Amino acid sequence: MKIKIVNKSKHALPEYATSASAGLDLRANIDASITINSLQRVLVKTGLFIELPIGYEAQVRPRSGLAFKNGVTVLNSPGTIDADYRGEIGVILVNLSNTPFVIENGERIAQLVIAKHEQAEWVLVEELAETERGEGGFGSTGKK
């Protein structure tokens, strides 16, 4: 699949790290470093603009290393970029650790996954088919 992209950042286009990678790394495109204090959130720009085909979305997801090592993650994970959005890709990061975290220009801050999706058509009914699980949720299937 080919996706149109405008790169106004100071960095190369996002790339897949391996041939089996699902996500492309997004880099911070900032003029000065940004410090995220404990429990603070910031919007970090990437300098990237994309044109997705209808029926696809781009999902902004956390980088596991950043989350595990530093407690920094994508706040609205996954963030959705719709096919009709033409603005700059921004990443909402939050610091869930107890120590400040500094983001530098060019740092890998999130990953972008391109995914196909469907739009649903509601069918209004009076009742739903029964299942073994029924209305059980929030841990109702137990620990295994």
Tell me the residue length of the chain: 144
User: What mean pLDDT, rounded, does the chain reach?
Assistant: 95
Domain residue ranges in the chain? 4-116
Alpha carbons 32 and 47: distance in angstroms, whole number:
14
CATH topology for 4-116 is Deoxyuridine 5'-Triphosphate Nucleotidohydrolase; Chain A (2.70.40)
pLDDT one-digit tens code per residue, 85-128:
999 999 999 999 999 999 999 999 999 999 999 999 999 999 99
Main-chain dihedrals φ then ψ at residue 87, nearest 5 degrees: -80, 175
Predicted local confidence at residue 95, as pLDDT: 98
Predicted local confidence at residue 137, as pLDDT: 76
Predicted local confidence at residue 144, as pLDDT: 64
R_g of the chain, CA atoms, integer Å: 19
Percentage of the chain exceeding pLDDT 90: 90
pLDDT one-digit tens code per residue, 61-88:
999 999 999 999 999 999 999 999 999 9
In the chain, what's the furthest Cα-to-Cα distance? Answer: 57
Alpha carbons 57 and 112: distance in angstroms, whole number:
10
Which helix (DSSP H) or strand (DSSP E) does residue 44 occupy?
strand 41-45
Report the predicted TM-score, pTM, of the whole model to 2 decimal places: 0.89
Mean pLDDT over 38-44 rounds to: 98
